[in-house]
Amino acid sequence: MNEKPGFKKETAIVGLIVAAWLVVTLVILSLFGISQGWPAFLTLIFFFEAGAKTENLKNIFVGAVVGILLGAALHLLGGALAPALGVDLALLLIVFVIVFLIIFLGDVAHMFFNNYTFCYFCVSTIFSEPATLEWLAVLLLGGLFFTGGILGIIKLIIRDKETQS
């Protein structure tokens, strides 16, 4: 079952669809003054990495929300503990606790604490000032629009292809 290396028509079509829909999503976000689309775009990457199973979307979106909120908690708790512990020690201690909890609680509350939680937490900590509410809105509204739109378009293509056969 070795496929020949080379370009595939299906891959090119999917690439064009995703690229076009990503640009549409960026344009729509920009109309609302939003320049950061990363919370929405990661959902599609994780969806395909998780085997393109729609039942994984719940874990992806819930884990993402929790990860973004934990990133906000890092900033809030860091500011509260920094005067007593110093900035570096406060942030390191909080990161340690959060990462431990993500991993430890994953066994009992996997929908909330999973790899998606960890990724969104990590990405949200890159920014010196979190835009938590904007990121949550982009994740939920933009993520549903972006990922849902891609899935809808692909479903239409597959359905059209099946009716032609």
| pLDDT per position as a tens digit, 5-37 | 888 888 888 889 989 999 999 999 999 999 899
In the chain, what are the domain boundaries? Answer: 22-159
pLDDT recorded at residue 160: 74
pTM given for the model: 0.87
How does 75-96 read in b/e, with b if 16+ C-beta sit within 10 Å? bebbeebeeeeeeeebbeebbe
**Residue bearing tokens 């939680």:** 117
DSSP 113: S
pLDDT recorded at residue 125: 95
Q: Which residues contact 25 (CB under 8 A, 6 or more apart)?
A: 37, 40, 41, 142, 145, 146, 149
Closest CA to 110 of 120, 121, 102, 99: 102
More confident residue, 157 or 72: 72
